[in-house]
Structure 1
């Protein structure tokens, strides 16, 4: 009996190996059709594309409808997440005014926030795989809303740093959980929905600067009279420009303004100051998004508990069998190499994205000499192009491979940052606006495409893997926020653009290395595996 059973097992193994070697996709298709018969019949009839079929499926398929509702709530919370990210740059000068600190010291807000984000990503990634996923997302959303609400009321630097850390902690947990949850919900069909989730993030980031701008403090010039007068001699004053105030000509120097009369000139010491800020209303709007998302997660949690609905894990595993097979081809050491390089890639990309939005308002005020309104609209233009790119990414990803998307968009990102550096260096403002638009579009699909590509070719993106990626992005944010703030304060404002150009080029180089390693090593591993399978089949046939 044991020998017969052994022969039967060997025959089954040979059959599986032959199928895997000759037609791996056909095996996946057969496995998927044998998973759930009723579901397959419904899919063959109705899931052929188009809005009408999607509506029918939502009406008739309870599980699909549950996934759509789940995804909608995730997208709503990511609108709030993007709203908070989009307002970081515009409100930064007002928060500096509230805590009364200089640029270098205030940059600690970004660093501490990034450290909180890092901690939240680590804790959230670990807890996501162990606790109730929806309830964890609800707690993260609630905590984010509370921290956002109290941020503008922290007038002391220690309290501001504490609230930034706490807010970053909850935002990190929400971001990690959301990215892992969308993959858990949709499995092998995640590409489109991952792009939709990040489109929701960019949509919130687009609206945020526009909604925040009316509540920002205006810039005013305050002049103090000096107790001295000099003769009306233009050579006595380092004049740079001339402006008219109520019909009287004013000579303006970097630190002094002078009101010129017929015989003498009265010097005034003038400084630029911010007026009264109403930025707490902007933070209130952001908190409303997070609180409403919390209600959605609570509804989802109660619905799952009362009706005992769970995601169909069997269906998810069935639909991703082909991708699981691709991942299994990689040995452990190659997975470690890929995850390390991908973490560095995400870290470099997040510096290029987050630092641009976070410091651009300050850069535009100090170096480009724009006013706050112009800086806010430039930030909004960046997020608008970012949002449009992610919207089109929802459809592009269905007809284009993630690897191709990453190659094209990372090259475009490097080109756009090069143009941004040159146009700001020579202060050619019309082209600055053009390259801001290209920057937003080129960044749009990179982050979700990295997640999807990793899940397809390297390893399943669980809560821990999502935490690894977001942790690397937070570490880079902590370091480079301090570095950029220091260089802008004590060296030159253009270092803001130089560093972002270096990071964008690093992204392209890192991804090029990843593609080369995968093409060489994985191809070699696949050929070796196919040779072993053929040899095993031949030996089995000879023995028989």
Structure 2
């Protein structure tokens, strides 16, 4: 899942991108908004295109366009041009994320659970690898920067410092070239699949009665949209602000605060890896219930003991593990009741993207107004409670939909589906 490379590589190279276009960091922060806006637009476009053209062909072309955008970023010397490429990359990310989820469901159907978990585990793995590529492999020469700062006069520093930093930033920009080359090579695998497999969509939907009746389809999609809005927003907000919270509110040293941040994403990634195997023997509904129970309990304890360092370490690890499998399990769960098309998957991805934009921004805004309140923990508890309430409502609607399908197409449901019909 290449989008994780693109999301996480931007943070470590953000300062170098600013130097490349001769701007301040604060003056180009809008590239995040541009990428997010492009991602939402790409999700909607992908939902339409995926239902009317071959998925392998669409994903292959999207990856090539993304690779070309990655190649172009190191050579952008103007902020407007950099923003335009970020928007285009965001569009391709939206297309790929929407199409990837639907392609897995169309390919494996009711057996897609482990494959869906593997797809989303690759997101965590990519988020872990790309900062290493950006800074440890192609990092800037800090010694040279320090030496330059110590020797050059302040009045004459701007011109030569810019030239030096441009050279240094170009070194870290090689990360974009490497990632773009990887995407370019992977795109040929999709073209190879297109030449050998033909159209997957027709094969996957043939003989399936689920798409004939969807009494509560729109209601389920809307509720899952809200579900993913709260879940992904809380996940990104916690991962983004736990370092600041631990340092400023709990008065941890920076090294410990960074370790706490790493613990959250480490347990998140590890649990997604284990979920590949759990999905072979557990219902998606059961996995969602376990995640909701763990996130609600850990966020409640975080609110009650936000100043207790041991509780903060333990509950952060539990919270990260509890957040890991909710998104892929939610998609696999809904697939048991109704057909997930490109339009449907686009709604999920847009909901997640909006949550990723709105909730972290809200936390950042409120932290400046109420610095002495554990607002991050309050948000975690609020979103966990909301998702724990909304899931039984979705389950009730889905159960009613299943009964309708069974009455109108009993031959299709001669055996109960893998999840949702019985105890989750």
Normalised to the residue count of structure 2, the TM-score between the two structures is 0.75
- Please tell me whether the aligned partners of residues 4 and 127 of structure 2 are also in contact (alpha carbons under 8 angstroms): yes
- Name the SS for the 2:220 alignment partner: helix
Structure 2 residue aligned with 1:489? 368
Structure 2 residue aligned with 1:296? 186
Structure 2 residue aligned with 1:168? 90
- Name the SS for the 1:202 alignment partner: helix
> Which deviations, in whole Å up to 9, do the C-alpha atoms of 1:16-62 show, x marking residues without a partner?
xxxxxxxxxxxxxxxxxxxxxxxxxxxxxxxxxxxxxxxxxxxxxxx
- C-alpha displacement at 1:501, in angstroms? 2.9
- Cα distance, 1:316–1:126 mapped onto 2, change above 3 Å: closer
> Which deviations, in whole Å up to 9, do the C-alpha atoms of 1:62-98 show, x marking residues without a partner?
xxxxxxxxxxxxxxxx1x3223334566666887898
How far apart are the structure 2 equivalents of 1:200 and 1:469?
19
- Please tell me whether the aligned partners of residues 137 and 173 of structure 1 are also in contact (alpha carbons under 8 angstroms): yes
Choose from 302, 310, 317 the match for 1:437: 317
- C-alpha displacement at 1:478, in angstroms? 2.9
Does 407-416 or 376-385 show the bigger shift? 376-385
Does 204-213 or 522-531 show the bigger shift? 522-531
- Cα distance, 1:141–1:496 mapped onto 2, change above 3 Å: farther
Structure 1 residue aligned with 2:337? 457
Question: What are the residue-to-residue correspondences of 1:90-109 with 2, within 5 Å?
Answer: 99-100=23-24, 108-109=30-31
**What is the aligned length?**
384
- Please tell me whether the aligned partners of residues 234 and 359 of structure 2 are also in contact (alpha carbons under 8 angstroms): no
- Cα distance, 1:181–1:528 mapped onto 2, change above 3 Å: closer
Q: Structure 2 regions of 5+ residues with no counterpart? A: 143-164, 411-424
Structure 1 residue aligned with 2:283? 401
> Which deviations, in whole Å up to 9, do the C-alpha atoms of 1:343-392 show, x marking residues without a partner?
11111111012222334455455555667665554443323212221222
- Cα distance, 1:284–1:178 mapped onto 2, change above 3 Å: farther
CA RMSD of aligned residues (A): 3.9
1:512 matched to 2:396: no
How far apart are the structure 1 equivalents of 2:337 and 2:44?
23
If you compute each CA radius of gyration, which structure gives the higher value, 1 or 2? Answer: 1
Structure 2 residue aligned with 1:206? 128
- C-alpha displacement at 1:495, in angstroms? 2.9
How far apart are the structure 2 equivalents of 1:210 and 1:513?
42
- C-alpha displacement at 1:338, in angstroms? 1.0
Structure 1 residue aligned with 2:414? none
How far apart are the structure 2 equivalents of 1:158 and 1:389?
40
- Please tell me whether the aligned partners of residues 228 and 355 of structure 2 are also in contact (alpha carbons under 8 angstroms): no
How far apart are the structure 1 equivalents of 2:254 and 2:141?
9
> Which deviations, in whole Å up to 9, do the C-alpha atoms of 1:237-292 show, x marking residues without a partner?
xxxxxxxxxxxxxxxxxxxxxxxxxxxxxxxxxxxxxxx89776666436523431
- Cα distance, 1:396–1:191 mapped onto 2, change above 3 Å: same
- C-alpha displacement at 1:482, in angstroms? 3.0
Bigger strand share = 1
Structure 2 residue aligned with 1:537? none
- Cα distance, 1:289–1:152 mapped onto 2, change above 3 Å: closer
How far apart are the structure 2 equivalents of 1:192 and 1:168?
27
- Please tell me whether the aligned partners of residues 284 and 329 of structure 2 are also in contact (alpha carbons under 8 angstroms): yes
- Name the SS for the 2:282 alignment partner: coil
> Which deviations, in whole Å up to 9, do the C-alpha atoms of 1:218-240 show, x marking residues without a partner?
9xxxxxxxxxxxxxxxxxxxxxx
How far apart are the structure 2 equivalents of 1:478 and 1:293?
26
- Name the SS for the 1:457 alignment partner: coil
Structure 1 residue aligned with 2:151? none
- Cα distance, 1:315–1:114 mapped onto 2, change above 3 Å: closer
Question: What are the residue-to-residue correspondences of 1:60-71 with 2, within 5 Å?
Answer: none
Does 428-437 or 196-205 show the bigger shift? 428-437
Normalised to the residue count of structure 1, the TM-score between the two structures is 0.60
- Please tell me whether the aligned partners of residues 57 and 194 of structure 2 are also in contact (alpha carbons under 8 angstroms): no
How far apart are the structure 1 equivalents of 2:391 and 2:180?
34
Structure 1 residue aligned with 2:63? 141
- Cα distance, 1:352–1:465 mapped onto 2, change above 3 Å: same
- Cα distance, 1:152–1:293 mapped onto 2, change above 3 Å: closer
How far apart are the structure 1 equivalents of 2:79 and 2:253?
26
- Name the SS for the 2:336 alignment partner: helix
Structure 2 residue aligned with 1:118? 40
- C-alpha displacement at 1:409, in angstroms? 0.8
> Which deviations, in whole Å up to 9, do the C-alpha atoms of 1:2-27 show, x marking residues without a partner?
xxxxxxxxxxxxxxxxxxxxxxxxxx
- Cα distance, 1:282–1:120 mapped onto 2, change above 3 Å: farther
- Please tell me whether the aligned partners of residues 389 and 441 of structure 1 are also in contact (alpha carbons under 8 angstroms): yes
Structure 2 residue aligned with 1:310? 198
- C-alpha displacement at 1:175, in angstroms? 0.9
